[in-house]
Amino acid sequence: MTSTWTIESLLLSHGEFHLSAYVTEPASPGPRSRQLMQIIEHAEAQLRGELTDLELQKFLAPLRQFEEDMPTLGGFEGARTLALFRTRGVFRALALPVEAKPLWTVASSFHVKPLLKWRQHERGERAWFEDCLIEEWQLWEKQGQIKSNLFQITRAAVRGDVRHLVVAEDRQIFGHIDESQGGLSLHPCDLNAYDDDVLDDLAQLVLRSGGQVSVKPQAEIPGARAALAFVRSPRRGRLRWQREMARQLAEHEHRAIS
């Protein structure tokens, strides 16, 4: 069963159990098939006790069918990354043109940082704007508009106060976000089907509230932080922010014309 969900639907899906898997072995069905078996075993271990035997069987059925269908799996030979997404009633396989680390996880939403990297790659015309934000972070920090503490970022994201979030694509911090209270608990590893990479969950929170998200290697984020959040400011600060952005846009357009 394959859904016609859009990328945006995958980015914003939230609620019941979601399985995400990124397979990046050499482009041949054999190694990828072995990873798919590991993915199924991981999902079964995470969800046993959370679903009835029948529910678990139905949840894993599309993955088992995909793993056993060698012609279909062979059709993804040219993909740099094979991405699989499964939740109740939805199974989606995507060939991503960007590199992603092998990863599989069960959580209350899909793992989306590789999808964001892909979308960011496809929208290359906006890369200069995102880079500009990072280069000017010290200006916004002086105005109190930058947060790098994960607990502060979480509270701001739950309130819908993050206008732009930058997260490390090569870092995972496992835990759980309490979206009702803005609380954050961090764990040393992926404990169960309710844990996720909190950087990934923060990205989805910001997207759902209308903010923007960029993914960067951690070494390219100022201070090598796991995340930076540009928060909404009081009206005076917001107007100053808008004037500064307008100035930078004008300068960019001038350089493009010259």
- CATH number of the domain at 214, please: 3.30.1330.30
**Distance from CA of residue 142 to its chain's centroid?**
28
Residue type for position 221? I
Q: Bridge-partner residues for 85, per DSSP?
A: 20, 92
In a domain, residue 92? The reply is yes
Say whether both 146 and 221 belong to one domain. Answer: yes
Instruction: Check: CB of residue 204 under 8 Å from CB of residue 109.
Output: yes
Q: Is pTM beyond 0.85 here? A: no
Number of domains in the chain: 2
Within this chain, do residues 39 and 85 fall inside the same structural domain, yes or no? yes
Q: Quote the domain boundaries for residue 41.
A: 7-109
Taking only the tens place, the pLDDT of each residue in 99-136 is 888 889 999 999 999 999 888 877 764 555 566 666 67
**Cα–Cα dist 241/173, whole Å:** 30
Burial 112-149 (b: 16+ CB within 10 A, else e): bbbbbbbbbeeeeeeeebbeebbebbeebeebebbbbe
Is 171 a residue whose pLDDT tops 70? Answer: yes
Domain boundary among 43, 78, 109: 109
| Residue 178 belongs to some domain of the structure | yes
Q: Are residues 136 and 44 part of one domain?
A: no
Q: Tell me: do 17 and 64 sit in the same domain.
A: yes
Could you say which of 109, 135, 167 is where a domain stops? 109
User: Which residue did the predictor score with more confidence, 249 or 85?
Assistant: 85
